[in-house]
Chains A and B, each alone.
Chain A
Amino acid sequence: MNEVRPVMSKPWTLLGSLVFLAGIAAFLLQSKLLGLMPPCMFHKFTGLHCPGCGGRRCMMMLAEGRIADAFQMNALVIFIVLGFGVFFLRQIVLEWKLGSVPQTILAPKYAWAIVWCIIGFWVLRNVPLWPFTLLAPFR
């Protein structure tokens, strides 16, 4: 168990590195992965967009530098990825500076705000009126 200790002493660094590597792997392998996956049933059956719809296309467009298109594909995913990124960076920096990281606690009003944003995004992007159509991906 003692050999495991140095790695586990920095859990956020470990977790962050794993997530980062998984992301890179998914990005590089995506054409292969896409060939294996069936089309989205929810969208095919109902024609509606789920909160994650357009997430992959969003990342592709960011990689190509098409920022405005990326926001239309899935603005929520952009904010979530940024949010998680900042959170992980903060945890990693604190981990190295302080040794162990103090508990992260989000006040209920912020937690509720996040939930309402996700639900609101899910509903609004399916409204076929401008400006809500700006939230829905185009083919």
Chain B
Amino acid sequence: MADWYYGENGGQLGPVDDQTLQAMVAQGRITAQTLVWREGMSNWQPYSALNLIESQSPNLGPSSFSPPIYAPVPNSGLAIASMVCGIVSLILCYVNAVAAIPAIICGHMALKKINESELPMAGRGMAIAGLITGYLGLLFQLIVIGIVCFAIFSSSSSLFP
């Protein structure tokens, strides 16, 4: 019951077990060119290149408590940076944009990299999370700037004790 990952639309999907993998092949969802990977393989391979005996090799035992292993394709950290900056931008006061703008930039860069990469890259979820929180942070900052401008132009002194 190995854990297989497969590439679709530039992203990594999975894990699926042997049976599900075979079912997807039968459906045509996984073709001979679909890149697949499983723990123990040194790199992604097209499905057609797999030695079928490999899928019957003994399971290496359950992974430790570490999270599911994704294939050895670096995601360059842009997606993580985007998500962290995005979260911080919603927590900060006064200067949300300082974190929101890097979140948005890194998020778009990460998505571009993931979409253009030949090998399936992980991190799409993180990049999208970073983009959403980054845009919300930026929106919040713009609202606050709008409030300040309104206060100044309406020359109302009640907001400034």
Seen from chain A, the residues whose Cβ lies within 8 Å of a Cβ on chain B are 37-42, 44-46, 50-52, 55, 76-77, 80, 84, 103-112, 114-115, 118-119, 122
A73 to chain B, nearest CB (A): 13
Q: Which residues of B contact A51 (CB under 8 A)?
A: 90-91
B128 to chain A, nearest CB (A): 7
Give the number of residue pairs across the A-B interface with Cβ within 8 Å: 79
A47 to chain B, nearest CB (A): 12
Q: Which residues of B contact A103 (CB under 8 A)?
A: 70, 74-75, 77, 122
Q: Which residues of A contact B144 (CB under 8 A)?
A: 41-42
The 6 closest A-B pairs by CB, nearest first: A108-B125, A111-B129, A111-B125, A52-B91, A105-B122, A45-B147
Q: In the complex the two chains form, what is the Cα distance from A103 to B148 in whole Å?
A: 42
B38 within 8 A of A: no
Given A41-B144, A42-B147, A115-B133, also A77-B91 (CB < 8 A): yes
Q: In the complex the two chains form, what is the Cα distance from A80 to B85 in whole Å?
A: 12
Interface of B is mostly: helix
In the complex, the chain A residue whose C-beta lies closest to that of B141 is A42
Residue pair B70, A105 in contact (C-beta under 8 Å): yes
Residue pair A104, B129 in contact (C-beta under 8 Å): no
By the criterion of a CB under 8 Å from any partner CB, how many residues of chain B are at the interface?
Answer: 34
CB within 8 Å of A: which B110-124 residues = 122-124
In the complex, the chain A residue whose C-beta lies closest to that of B11 is A108
Q: In the complex the two chains form, what is the Cα distance from A21 to B75 in whole Å?
A: 29
Supply 23 A–B pairs (Cβ within 8 Å), ascending by A: A37-B94, A39-B161, A42-B144, A44-B159, A45-B151, A51-B90, A52-B92, A52-B93, A77-B91, A80-B87, A103-B77, A104-B80, A105-B67, A105-B123, A106-B67, A106-B80, A106-B83, A108-B125, A109-B125, A111-B128, A111-B129, A114-B129, A115-B133
Residue pair B147, A114 in contact (C-beta under 8 Å): no
Q: In the complex the two chains form, what is the Cα distance from A62 to B159 in whole Å?
A: 31
Q: In the complex the two chains form, what is the Cα distance from A122 to B124 in whole Å?
A: 24
Q: Which residues of A contact B129 (CB under 8 A)?
A: 111-112, 114-115
